[in-house]
Amino acid sequence: MYVAARVDEEKCNGCRLCVYACPDPNVIAVIQLKKVVAIDQKRCKGCGLCATVCPKGALAVS
């Protein structure tokens, strides 16, 4: 069983690095108005790649 990634909206600045790092298209989406990302909890595989590239430490998979 895997754990889907979670976003700390207080830390995320919407830079999109995690969007480019995610191997699956459209799992991470930028909410333009809030300048934060949202993760599709049903499709995220919990691989953790997004968390490794986030410069703000805004993503966690455990």
Q: How far is the CB of 36 from ligand SF4 (least distance, A)?
A: 6
3 state DSSP class of 30? strand
What is the C-alpha separation between 54 and 50, in angstroms, rounded? 6
17 sits near ligand SF4 (criterion: CB under 6 A): yes
Q: Which of 6, 38, 45, 60 binds ligand SF4 (CB under 6 A)?
A: 45
Q: What residues line the site for ligand SF4 (CB under 6 A)?
A: 5, 7, 12-18, 21-22, 24, 27-28, 37, 39, 44-50, 54, 56, 58-59, 61
